[in-house]
Amino acid sequence: MRKLYFLVVLFSATLFAQETKETNAVDVTFLRGNVLPHTDDLYHLVTGHPEGVMINFSKQTHGSKEWHKIFGYPDYGAYFLYQDFKNEILGKSYAAGMHYDFYFLNRNLVFKLAQGIAITTNPHDKETNSKNSAFGSKLLGNTNFGLTYKKDYLVDNFGLQAGILFTHFSNGRMKAPNSGINTYSLSVGVNYNFEEKVKREKDTAKVDLTFKEPIRYNIILRTGVNESPIIGSGQHAFYHLGFYADKRLNRKSAVQLGSELFLSNFFKDFIKYQSVAYPEKNLDPNTDFKRVGVFVGYELFINKISLEGQVGYYVYQPYKYNIPVYDRVGMKYYFNKKIFTGLSIKTHGFLAEAMEFAIGVRL
């Protein structure tokens, strides 16, 4: 999790270090909603309506960079999220990270995307909190997205906003258990702009999205630690080595096609455990733990940061523990045109397998 903290700080610091003619704003939003129990072991944790507060500190873009105009002059910055799950087993959580706000409908409708790290007050403990199947560790990853209707400058520099926010907390199964918690909440809040309203003249020049680039080849290593579903079985390092080609469609987008090798060391002990605990399965304890997958993906380039989504299929999976389809969502930061780092979550449906820290090269 220290690596995760470093990446979040790096991304945030890089964003705020840009020399742009931007204005500043802050908003405070109050949340109340419901837990979405995506597995059977979570229903006993749904005992109330989670409440919370989200604070966003934003830089408002006005076109001093090319990507500002291409993405409709978004906001970006840092956020803080407090959430009370209204359940003594789950406790409360505190999260911080970075966010993007993208505007639509004459800048009244806002799509928010935010990602960071979180601390939970009451993680699983086999003696004092054994019923918490959602959080196996105190440190978690946090992802949020939502839609908000927003009106600025209603009274002087103050405005109002309301909408819906989806939140996700999980440790990427770095430690079991890790069912994670998803919530959806209605939101209402107030915003404040520190500067006077910027009059943005209507720009009749068309944005040139034409972007020609040959097919690029990428090598990426994703690594970290995770644990089998057996609580207390111990953390093991994993290594996911991938090779893929990407083709830029335009200034914003690229598509990907590739393959990867999964070396998840926790499977070695887990296979042996399953062969002994469930002899009726006739499982060979020496079954190969390695997996090979092929995937397609999409990458959205913003500035030096990009957002990535992939869907894959295991073409080699001797030990068939999970479904053969996997998916991944993540964020990448490009140090230059060739070297990048990143953070992603690999899952099978709603069940996370790994929080991956990546380093790669794009040739």
Helix (H, G, I), strand (E, B) or coil at 220: strand
Residues 100 and 241 in one domain: no
Residues 162 and 222 in one domain: no
pLDDT at res. 208: 61
pLDDT at res. 289: 95
In a domain, 6, yes or no: no
pLDDT at res. 206: 58
Residues 177 and 284 in one domain: no
Residues 274 and 152 in one domain: no
Q: Which residues contact 285 (CB under 8 A, 6 or more apart)?
A: 271, 272, 275, 276
Question: Cα 229 vs. chain centroid, distance in angstroms?
Answer: 22
CB 221 within 8 A of CB 240: yes
Token output for 356: 């991956």
State the residue range of the domain holding 290: 216-362
Residues 29 and 111 in one domain: yes
Question: Cα 83 vs. chain centroid, distance in angstroms?
Answer: 17
Count Cβ atoms within 10 A of the Cβ of residue 282 and give its class: 0-12 exposed, 13-18 middle, 19 or more buried. exposed
In the chain, where does DSSP find H-type helix?
Answer: 2-16, 66-70, 266-277
Question: What is the four-CA torsion angle of 199, 200, 204, 207, rounded to 10 degrees?
Answer: 180
In a domain, 334, yes or no: yes
Which domain CATH number covers 338?
A: 2.40.160
Token output for 322: 């999970």
Write out pLDDT tens, residues 123-174: 999 889 999 988 999 999 999 999 999 999 999 999 999 999 999 999 988 9
CB 83 within 8 A of CB 92: yes
The CA-based angle 278-283-288, given to 5 degrees, is 135
Token output for 145: 């997205």
Beta-carbon-side half-sphere exposure of residue 72 (alpha carbons within 13 Å): 12
Residues 220 and 156 in one domain: no
Residues 136 and 281 in one domain: no
pLDDT at res. 100: 96
Residues 162 and 306 in one domain: no
Torsions phi, psi of 303, nearest 5? -125, -110
Token output for 45: 């944790």
Instruction: Tell me 341's DSSP state.
Output: E
Which domain CATH number covers 103?
A: 2.40.160.20
Residue numbers in the chain where pLDDT is lower than 50: 1-20
pLDDT at res. 64: 84
Instruction: Tell me 125's DSSP state.
Output: B
Cis upstream peptide for 177 (omega within 30°): yes
d(CA 359, CA 44): 40
Residues 182 and 329 in one domain: no
d(CA 106, CA 357): 38
Residues 175 and 83 in one domain: yes
Structural domain total, the chain: 2
d(CA 64, CA 250): 20
Question: Cα 220 vs. chain centroid, distance in angstroms?
Answer: 18
Question: Which of 223, 224, 222 is CA-nearest to residue 242?
Answer: 222
Write out pLDDT tens, residues 215-257: 999 999 999 999 998 888 899 999 999 999 999 999 899 999 9
Token output for 198: 């910027």
User: Which residue reads 């196996």 in tokens?
Assistant: 136
Residues 282 and 335 in one domain: yes
In a domain, 202, yes or no: no
Residues 128 and 277 in one domain: no
Label residues 112-141 b or e (16+ Cβ within 10 Å = b): bbbbbbbbbebbbeeeeeeebbbbbbebbb
